[in-house]
Chain A
Amino acid sequence: MKEEQQPQDIPKQKLRLKWLLKMAWRDTRRSRGRLILFLSSIVLGIAALVAINSFRYSLNVAIDEKAKTLIGADLVMGMNKEPDSTAVALVDSVSNLGRRSDENRLASMVYFIKSDATRLVQVRALEGEFPYFGEIEADPEESSRTFREGQNALVDYNLMLQYEAQPGDSIRVGSLKFRIAGALHHIPGQTALTTAIAPVVYIPRQYLPATGLMQRGSRISYYYYIDLPSSVQPDTLARRLEPRMEEYGLFYDTVQTRKEGMGAAYNELAGFLALVGFVALLLGCVGVASAIHVYMRDKLSTIGVLRCLGMSSKQAFLVYLFQVIGMGLTGGLAGAILGSIIQLVLPGLFGAFLPVEVEPYFSWGAALQGVLLGTIVSVLFALLPLLSIRRISPLITLRASIEHLTSQRDPLQWAVYGLIILFVLIFSWWQMGTWWQALSFTGGVIGAFLVLAILAKLLSWAIRRFFPANWGYVWRQGLANLYRPNNQTLLLTVSIGLGTALIGTLYMVQLTLLSEVSISRNEDQPNLVLFDIQNAQKDEVVSMTKQQGLPVLFLDPMVTVRLERKNQITGAVARNDSTLDIRPWLFTREYRITYRNNLTDAEKTEKGTWDENNNINQDIIPVSLEERYAERLKADLGDTLVFNVQGAMISTKVTHIREVDWNRVQSNFQIVFPEGVLEEAPQFFVLMTRSKNEQQAAQFQRSIVERFPNVSTIGLDLILETLDEVVGQISFVIQFMALFSIFTGLLVLVGSVNVSKFQRIKESVLLRTLGANRNQILAITALEYTLLGLLAAATGCLIAFGASWALAVFSFEVEFVPVIWPLFIIFLLVTMLTLAVGLLNSRGILDRPPLEVLRREA
């Protein structure tokens, strides 16, 4: 024999990428339909993300283009109480640089004389040239300017429709009559939703005092719109003045701050919606992984032959990697196209929330991102089954039954798991903005995966371990299908279970949020609220209410206060030290508080005591806090709080913490003082009553407005109507995004069951050949899919329950509302759907002779 060649003497094999690409394309020939089914599961997720991100882009473009019209001026300064001389001096000094418009805002009743009806509105008393940028849109057009010239008003367009008012008709605001100059369509920077909640009526500011609405304790805000010369940089000026403005209690807005605030708010919303889309994409990825897993199993013999003929493991791996990349690219492209089409409808969908008109632009960035994302997720999730290609032994060509993998352990698999987790983490961080949220989201997804995988394994093990050997043939076959080699238990449980969990969570979170804002229409609860009742008017309003045959259900005093300090922590300290985890706005906002020594039916003591024995004869007054407010403030019994009661500092000590049922229609409070402390402070009263019908309510409202123009009344029906409208809009958007998950879930289910079909066909045909009849095969298949559906759906629902509880409690900080029925319906639907898809897939096997099926499927 000649001398032996050494391994290094064998020429190094080239990769031949071009040929591998060709092989990848050739190899898809008989599977293109199936590959399209696989990729369809990622298309919807990508489409959702592209649509949201394109929309985000279009919105940013619109905000940028119309930035100045967002606030209508260069600088807006404002205050929620009457400014003192120092604040006025500061505002004057700034406005001396340019032009200024003044506006007062207050909630008040408006009386429509022609239709003899009253309605609570936001009155804006305006003086000056506002807006300096953009237009107040009104009909007739010139009325937005001319109304300022006399005793005229601009009335919200929808309000005019509702009360059948026409320009030229009259309304009464407080005790003054105004002629309607025009219908108000749009105010710069205002969204349709905010005007729906609080419809606006503009009046000239010089008439405000004469309306009688400016009383002591009235809640009036003061706005100053300033048009600065181009030489003055509004942001530089505002930043320089910020410490003083803060000191005087003034807030400010520039085009830039409004843009940033708005951008942040809408980006947060878009981020949340993108995450819902991402959930759909993740679900699709599970579908891709499971489909590729089965696809690779079908390709074993082809890979074995290629390995036999000399293809290296790397080349074999690349052939299928190229197929997955192609699939991901196509899926991403299809998703990007679909998403770009969907984004055309989004401005309409979000219309009510938007401050500016958004024109949908095609965003190359978002589309490219979609294509890339499709490719990345397809590759990442397909890598697990793809990695096994490297270990396929060529021996499979000689013996089909041989263990086809050369070894079971592959460290690269762990690297792929790590990459997937890293990807989910980074993507969710990118969408949500904080690592904490991203970690929770990723942890939740991993947890759900693990629970489902462990349960699936447990089921297989339990059935095998406690196999009921004496049961009938059909039961034994059906149950054995769950643990036999090549079973679908793990795959279907994880994909169906995860889909159920995601959809269930979305649904339950939505219901929990909706229940948070819903108010029960209980027979005994008030349906009419009167507020802004002055101390001097209190007795007369009460007697008038009783005279009209209406009960006084609640009468609470309200005092406006601000929190100055908690122990040694002031607003400035909280702002500068984020480790305290106390929101600084807790110190700048105003609180409407009450005083009493008792608890209402809606309140329950959590800690401490609250009764007539409260000791008010010390320097430090006892105070009761609502539990969630205490939590936000990180306050507990014994903590000292200093309140600014319209100039007077009052030190208090937390002696009581209450749980409050906010869903009750009554005035609930975060802070309650004991009696005997605030009686002399400026205050107003809120009265709640219940009318028997609409006529009685209208009559009562009219007589109250007639006698006390400053007192506002609002019907519960109107609140509910407005809430329904707002909640309806929000739900619609969330449901629209959730639809992507639902459809993806369906596609994954069909895909998962469909890929398992190829496995089941061989077995079923064999059973038929051996003499099993149609009904037996049907029963075996039905049993297997019912059990899988039951397990996956039940686990998915349990995960949804846990996840929505965690989201409600930790993320939204609301009370979790366990809704069992919708979840039970989801459970039934998913189980039935799994069964139906499973049976539909075996239809072809049942109705044809075994040989025909074998030939057709070969």
Chain B
Amino acid sequence: MSAILDIQNLKKIYNSGSRELTVLQDINFTLYTGDTCSIVGPSGSGKTTLLGLCAGLDRASSGSVILNNIRLDNLSEDKRAQVRNLYVGFIFQNFQLIPTLTALENVMVPLELRGERNVQRQALELLERVGLAQRHDHYPTQLSGGEQQRISLARAFSNKPAILFADEPTGNLDEETGEKVEQLLFDLNRETGTTLVLVTHDLELAEKTKRIIRIKGGTVVSDTGVPAER
């Protein structure tokens, strides 16, 4: 298996007025194709910042992020957007569906952005897979939280991403719905062979991944389940 995400000496500093605030430093890890990994830590430990850097949503102050053999820290924001469109899927805590688009259109967006044809059929298949084909013409506000997150899952997998980042995917859902969404997420992950990176407080959810990276105060304090050298 090959490395899909390689993080080396990652550091992130925010400027707050005249003060510098180091939120991440000395972060090093590598994820391989098909891995499942959780990043856990207390609030303010830098989990979400790390996710943003790994997914190319933000630029590191120093160090490197190599995603699918592409070094992201050298790229412009628009190039990184293209990398995200080609190789990355996202699931957010607050679903982040576009309110003006129907469920089907939300799932179609990543494919349409690529300029693919017959995207409606592909999107409908995915909706079928998450059990919401009959709600395809509903707008996000007409759907429950669980349904919205399932649409979000369908969208995340629509572009067949090499790596999928999920930020507290069940954080806004009740336990029962949360479990269903988790199940669906792991099933889809298995079926597609996508690498999965989860950011969560929920240790129970984290333990469902093979690897757990714990961070505290902006540094990695433990990294369990690291696969043997490949």
Q: Which A positions have Cβ atoms within 8 angstroms of B?
A: 1-5, 7, 10-11, 13-14, 16, 19, 23, 26-31, 301-302, 304-315, 393-395, 397-399, 406, 858
**The 6 nearest A-B residue pairs measured at CB:** A310-B85, A312-B78, A29-B100, A1-B3, A394-B57, A5-B70
CA distance A4 to B64 in the complex (A): 12
Indicate if B178 sits at the interface (CB-CB under 8 A): no
> Are A13 and B84 within 8 A (Cβ)?
no
Given contacts A2-B2, A398-B167, contact A310 B81 (CB under 8 A): yes
Interface size class of chain B, counting residues whose CB lies under 8 Å from the partner chain = 35 or more
Which B residues are in CB contact (< 8 Å) with A308? 57, 84, 90, 96
CA distance A5 to B85 in the complex (A): 16
Which A residues are in CB contact (< 8 Å) with B100? 26-31, 302
> Are B99 and A3 within 8 A (Cβ)?
no
> Are B99 and A302 within 8 A (Cβ)?
yes
Sample (20) of A-B pairs whose CB atoms are under 8 Å apart:
A1-B69, A7-B79, A13-B81, A16-B113, A26-B101, A27-B100, A27-B101, A28-B100, A305-B98, A306-B109, A309-B113, A310-B86, A312-B78, A312-B82, A313-B78, A393-B58, A395-B57, A395-B58, A397-B92, A398-B51
Selected from A23, A311, A398, the residue in CB contact (under 8 A) with B48 is A398
> Are B52 and A314 within 8 A (Cβ)?
no
Given contacts A26-B101, A310-B81, contact A397 B109 (CB under 8 A): no
Which B residues are in CB contact (< 8 Å) with A3? 69
Interface residues of B in 4-35 (CB under 8 A from A): 6
CA distance A5 to B3 in the complex (A): 13
Shortest distance from the beta carbon of A644 to any chain B beta carbon, whole Å: 79
CA distance A26 to B110 in the complex (A): 15
How would residues 78 to 111 of chain B score, 1 for a CB under 8 Å from any chain A CB and 0 otherwise? 1101111110001010001111110001000110
Indicate if B179 sits at the interface (CB-CB under 8 A): no
CA distance A306 to B217 in the complex (A): 31
Interface residues of B in 66-83 (CB under 8 A from A): 66, 68-71, 74-79, 81-83
CA distance A307 to B52 in the complex (A): 13
CA distance A733 to B114 in the complex (A): 57
Closest to B76 in A: A7
Which A residues are in CB contact (< 8 Å) with B110? 309-310
CA distance A1 to B5 in the complex (A): 10
> Are B66 and A301 within 8 A (Cβ)?
no
CA distance A141 to B155 in the complex (A): 84
Which A residues are in CB contact (< 8 Å) with B90? 308-309, 397
CA distance A838 to B159 in the complex (A): 46
Which A residues are in CB contact (< 8 Å) with B75? 7, 10
CA distance A553 to B200 in the complex (A): 100
Which B residues are in CB contact (< 8 Å) with A313? 77-78, 81
CA distance A312 to B76 in the complex (A): 10
Which B residues are in CB contact (< 8 Å) with A315? 113
Shortest distance from the beta carbon of B133 to any chain A beta carbon, whole Å: 20
Indicate if B141 sits at the interface (CB-CB under 8 A): yes
CA distance A398 to B84 in the complex (A): 15
Indicate if B112 sits at the interface (CB-CB under 8 A): yes
CA distance A314 to B78 in the complex (A): 9
Closest to B90 in A: A308
Q: Which of B69, B99, B101, B114 has its CB near the most chain A CB atoms (within 10 A)?
A: B99
Which A residues are in CB contact (< 8 Å) with B78? 13, 312-314
CA distance A307 to B96 in the complex (A): 12
Which A residues are in CB contact (< 8 Å) with B159? 310
CA distance A315 to B159 in the complex (A): 19
Selected from A14, A307, A406, the residue in CB contact (under 8 A) with B81 is A307
Closest to B53 in A: A395
> Are B109 and A5 within 8 A (Cβ)?
no
How would residues 52 to 65 of chain B score, 1 for a CB under 8 Å from any chain A CB and 0 otherwise? 10000110000000
Which A residues are in CB contact (< 8 Å) with B74? 7
How would residues 196 to 212 of chain B score, 1 for a CB under 8 Å from any chain A CB and 0 otherwise? 00000000000000000
CA distance A419 to B77 in the complex (A): 27
CA distance A397 to B74 in the complex (A): 22
CA distance A842 to B92 in the complex (A): 33
CA distance A315 to B77 in the complex (A): 13
Which A residues are in CB contact (< 8 Å) with B57? 308, 393-395, 397-398
Which A residues are in CB contact (< 8 Å) with B112? 16, 19, 23
Which B residues are in CB contact (< 8 Å) with A31? 100
> Are A311 and B113 within 8 A (Cβ)?
yes
> Are B52 and A398 within 8 A (Cβ)?
yes
Which A residues are in CB contact (< 8 Å) with B98? 27, 302, 305-306
> Are A1 and B79 within 8 A (Cβ)?
no
CA distance A399 to B114 in the complex (A): 26
Shortest distance from the beta carbon of B209 to any chain A beta carbon, whole Å: 20
CA distance A763 to B208 in the complex (A): 40
Closest to B106 in A: A305
Which B residues are in CB contact (< 8 Å) with A13? 78, 81-82, 85
CA distance A112 to B92 in the complex (A): 94
Which A residues are in CB contact (< 8 Å) with B48? 398-399
> Are B81 and A311 within 8 A (Cβ)?
yes
